Amino acid sequence: VDAASSSILYRKIALPAFGFSKPEQIHFFRNLATMVAAGLSIADSLRVLDEQAANPGLKKAVGGMVADIENGQKLSVAMRKFPSYFSEYIVETVNVGEVTGKLGDILDHISVDLEHDIRLVTRQLKFSLQHPHEPSSAPWGRRGRTTSEHHRCAAWRERQN
């Protein structure tokens, strides 16, 4: 697969994971990590990200987070108020970064995890498109059953004969 078609697949499968797409999430967390690691305050970093955001819903969420942080809330608490943008996993991971004092590293780790998710889905999609009749290209077997269910049914049929 050449680079042009690979980037098309990347854009096509990067469906919104919550309130914003995986590439937007990667951009958000990678840039937030960079700014926090450089010593910029979380509120100032979020203001920069608010200016960069094209998604109006994300702009509203980030604006609300800035207000909460300026009122003394932690980033994880501010994120928790926007569950359509930040999963519980992300909120708890950010909380760990705040507690341990390694928020910049944790934010970067989140962006790496999100990139890994996209690569994995892309790889699975490419395999499924290239090998549509391979049983391993889908998690289910015949008649919509999972592979393990299919094996249990086959074993039951053998015992009946």
- The pLDDT assigned to 131 comes to 75
Rounded to whole angstroms, how far apart are CA atoms 71 and 139? 47
Report CA torsion sign: 69, 73, 74, 78: negative
Q: Which two tokens stand for residue 26?
A: 């990667």
Placement of tokens 């996209």 in the chain:
118
Confidence of residue 13 (pLDDT cuts 50, 70, 90): very low
Task: Report pTM.
Answer: 0.67
Confidence of residue 15 (pLDDT cuts 50, 70, 90): very low
List pLDDT tens digits, range 20-35: 788 889 999 999 999 9
3-state secondary structure of 55: coil
Q: Answer whether residue 46 shows pLDDT above 70.
A: yes
Nearest 5°: the CA angle 135, 141, 144 is 140
Confidence of residue 159 (pLDDT cuts 50, 70, 90): low
List pLDDT tens digits, range 58-117: 899 999 999 999 999 999 999 999 999 999 999 999 999 999 999 999 999 999 998 888
